[in-house]
Amino acid sequence: MTLLAVERIKLFSTRSPWWCMALAIALTVGMASLIAANTGDQFPLNVAVTQSFTDFGMVVIMVMAALAATTEYRFGTIRATFLAVPSRTGALVAKATVVALLAGVVGEVVAFGSWGISKLIKPNVDLAINSTAEWRNVAGTGLVFMIAALLAVAVGILIRQTAGAVAILLVYTMLVENLIGLIPTLGQKIQRWLPFMHANNFRTADGAPVTDGPGAGSQLDFPFGPWGSLAYFAAIGVGLLVVALVVAKRRDA
């Protein structure tokens, strides 16, 4: 618990997490309000539409998670951390845990905030969350944000440089998984095993397809159901974090 408290204090002692959280919420909820205000007969509003921009908020939170790791390497405070805590693994796991929990909370705020603002703008539209697919689409966002944050922390630990880690995260989440689908014959076969495709499958399986981010508009033949996809996404996140912990333990700070 002491390590968790220390990591919480370190995380909130800088401005970047506050700015990232504010940007993620404002960007996602703001875009949801614009979408809701401009829906009509040709483009009806439903629960899935209110969640159309949550992936953008996720990317911002991933940047925050990467910064939580790279900032310590940039300013050399990671050396003091490792001197104070002989177990590097324990210190880094505590950091990842704090960041992931914060990401999960922000994910729920983003999801229910987008749904709530849409309901306020269009009170006459039925936006009741009834089906399990709709609950996954909204309430499941926090779980996706948590795992995405673990991935981002792992990348930050491995790369150690802010610019490089952020560039990798942005390019991969916003471009790579979608561009792979353009490869003839093999594209969709590869896509069905990519992590963020499975994150979106968890949130949108048996519901409306996502309209942004990895997997936008795609109807892939996933090997797992929605909860299997979440487990697969989590396994990749935890696996990458384990690799990062092993590398951090073996190299100089």
Which two three-digit tokens encode residue 96? 């990842």
42 DSSP 8-state letter: S
Q: What is d(CA 26, CA 223) in angstroms, rounded to the nearest whole number?
A: 35
**Tens of pLDDT, residues 72-111:** 888 888 888 888 887 888 889 999 999 999 999 999 999 9
Give this prediction's pTM.
0.90
Q: Which residues contact 166 (CB under 8 A, 6 or more apart)?
A: 63, 66, 67
In the numeric block, the tokens 């996706």 are attached to: 144
The gap from C-alpha 51 to its chain's centroid, in whole angstroms, comes to 14
Give the model's pLDDT for residue 219: 64
HSE-up of residue 48 (Cα within 13 Å, Cβ side): 19
Res. 206 pLDDT band, cuts 50 70 90: low
Tally of structural domains, the chain: 1
> Which residue segment(s) compose the domain that 62 sits in?
2-250
Residue range 164-174, pLDDT digits in tens = 999 999 999 99
Q: Cβ neighbours of residue 35 under 8 Å, at least 6 residues apart?
A: 45, 49, 50, 52, 53, 118
Name the band, by pLDDT with cuts 50, 70 and 90, for residue 14: confident
Side chain identity, residue 164: G
**Mean of the pLDDT values across residues 41-61?**
91
Identity of the residue numbered 157: I
Per-residue pLDDT at 42 exceeds 80? yes
Q: Which range among 67-71, 229-233, 234-238 shows the weakest confidence by mean pLDDT?
A: 67-71
For 171, counting Cβ atoms within 10 Å of its Cβ (0-12 exposed, 13-18 middle, 19+ buried), the class is exposed
